[in-house]
Chain A
Amino acid sequence: MKRSRSIENSIIPIGFSLILLLIWQLSVDMGMISRNMLPSPTDVGSTLIEILPDIYQHTLVTLTEAFAGFFASILLALILAILMDSVKVIKKAIYPILVVSQTVPLIVLAPLFVMWFGYGMMPKIIVVVLVCFFPILISLLDGLSSVDKDMINLLKSMKASRLQIFRLVKFPAAMVSFFSGLRIAATYSIMGAIIGEWMGGKAGLGIYMTRVKYSFAYDKTFAAILVIVVLSMMVFYAVRLLQRLAMPWSIEMEKNRR
């Protein structure tokens, strides 16, 4: 029963995606859509293989920016979350600014970063941080404040110090929600790097895409999109794997809840 359901769970989405791809393929092959405007899935596939050596370097640059930004975000979010959780004044002062900061469209800011920090990796990493930092911080703060008051009272009745309560209860309790924020941020990190690159630079998938866009090589644009999707999925699952290793109980618990 359980087994057949899990097969069902994977067959339905895969099958549906295949059907969509087939419709796409057929409508291009049958001439309903011009191949110049929209390359077919097989065109994209063969282009991808063709350009792989070209975009390899670009991919590495984008990944470096994404990872640098991602880890900087984690560090920053950890420090701020701990500060905001332990000193209420800091939380009250910073929280509204953080929320407002998220309403500014990044696309508008990115060119400014290029002006301020030049065409190197720095402005891209900043964009990644701006994208990733917020979901991580919010998930951490939520996790830290979600701890059962009685649990904290129980430890207080044992005469536990604030540090002990943090280390034994609050921080580990925040880990589940921290990882869900991390998963979102991980997928955003690649996108953030691409947005940063879009505004100009020397190398990276975003740069590559702007170049091929100007030469109307849409098959290459789609091939690059495919690479981005694959990379994003990979980091998403890498975080999930990390969660499984770090907290085997949390995945089990999710399963039990279903």
Chain B
Amino acid sequence: MNTFQNNNEIKLELKELYKAFEDTPVLEGISLQLKNKEFISILGPSGSGKSTIFNIISGLLKPDRGEVAIEGENHTGKTGRVSYMYQKDLLLPWRKVIDNASLPLIVKGMEKQQARETVAPFFKVFGLEGFEHKYPFQLSGGMRQRAALLRTYMFSKDIMLLDEPFGGLDAITRAKMQQWLLDVLQQLEASILFITHDIEEAIYLSDRVYILSERPAAVKKEIVIDLERPRGREILTSREFIDLKAEILSLL
């Protein structure tokens, strides 16, 4: 089935999404594309409706107009296809880390033991080795976000929506987690849609950045981040990086 897949295949496409809450328009014609294995950021001011976009993609909300297409098929208003990670880790305190990570498999109807066995090999990739049988409260904020990302990955391995996953972390942990995310993603076959209001984070992580306007949100501009991968922290001070940052700042 996947024989025709190539790297430019469009995994997810939003076509002209409109949404209003009561009489307040929130989204005004959001269109974007996420290609296979791409990392796309949506950058915009707080309250610009970024999370609304994710709620629509995940199927929790229905747009007033427009379409969500996943691999060419209409998925508007349908849950259960893409995985969604919130800023809060939302780990269940009564489940061990391994059982939190296997939650999506349990929801899909897998037995506990089998779910554990399925999840276990990924602990190494996600840098969570040795934490399998700890409870969430025994983990640091950064480690909890790792566990949350692993859980997110276990639900849908190809399309992941990350809503400011590092927003609640301190600056140092945050920088470490960004590096960690890039390292992990190199080992996975995932297409990522990432929400942030941190310009550096968006440039550092992404292949492309969509800049949103203030509410009601529309795409102001799409910026291609043409920085070589793998990226290290040193690019933060490179000429190209600073130019990109200046360009985005002038747009916001």
- Chain A residues proximal to chain B, CB less than 8 Å: 148, 150-151, 153-160, 164, 168-169, 172-173, 175, 247, 249-250, 252-253, 256
Which of A156, A158, A168, A252 interacts with B135 by CB under 8 Å? A252
Q: Is B80's CB under 8 angstroms from A253's CB?
A: no
- Residues from chain A with a CB closer than 8 A to the CB of B59 are 157
Q: Considering the chains assembled together, what is the distance between the CA atoms of A205 and B107 in angstroms? A: 51
Q: Which residue of B lies closest to A172 (CB)?
A: B94
* A168/B103 contact (C-beta < 8 A), A148-B88, A159-B80 known: yes
Residue of B nearest to A148 (CB): B90
B contact residues around A156 at 8 Å (CB): 60, 79
Contact indicator A253/B137 (Cβ below 8 Å): yes
Partner of A157, one of B80, B108, B138: B80
B94:A247 contact, CB within 8 angstroms = yes
Number of A-B residue pairs with CB-CB distance less than 8 Å in the complex they form: 60
| A158 B86 Cβ-Cβ under 8 A | no
- Nearest-CB distance from A239 to chain B (Å)? 18
Specify which of A157, A164, A175, A247 is in contact with B60 (CB 8 Å cutoff).
A157
**C-alpha spacing A20/B80, complex, angstroms:** 64
Do residues A169 and B92 form an inter-chain contact, with CB atoms below 8 A?
Answer: yes
- A155–B95 Cα distance when bound, in Å, is 15
Chain A residues lying within 8 Å of B55, measured Cβ to Cβ, are 153
A158, A168, A249: the one contacting B80 at CB < 8 Å is: A158
A-B contact pairs, 13 of them (CB 8 A): A150-B86, A150-B88, A151-B92, A154-B84, A154-B86, A154-B90, A157-B84, A158-B80, A158-B155, A168-B106, A172-B94, A249-B135, A253-B93
Which residues of B (190-211) have their CB < 8 Å from a CB of A? Answer: none
Measured between beta carbons, the chain A residues less than 8 angstroms from B94 are 172-173, 175, 247, 249-250
Best-surrounded residue of A153, A169, A172 (most CB of chain B within 10 A): A153
Residue-wise interface mask of B (77-92) relative to A, using a CB-CB cutoff of 8 A (1 in contact, 0 not): 0011011101010101
The reply to whether A164 and B107 form a contact with Cβ atoms under 8 Å apart is yes
Query: Top 4 A-B pairs ranked by shortest CB distance?
Result: A159-B80, A157-B58, A160-B107, A157-B84
Tell me how far the C-beta of B86 lies from the nearest C-beta in chain A, rounded to whole angstroms: 5
- Measured CB to CB, the nearest residue on chain B to A158 is B107
In the complex, how many angstroms separate the beta carbon of B157 from the nearest chain A beta carbon?
Answer: 14
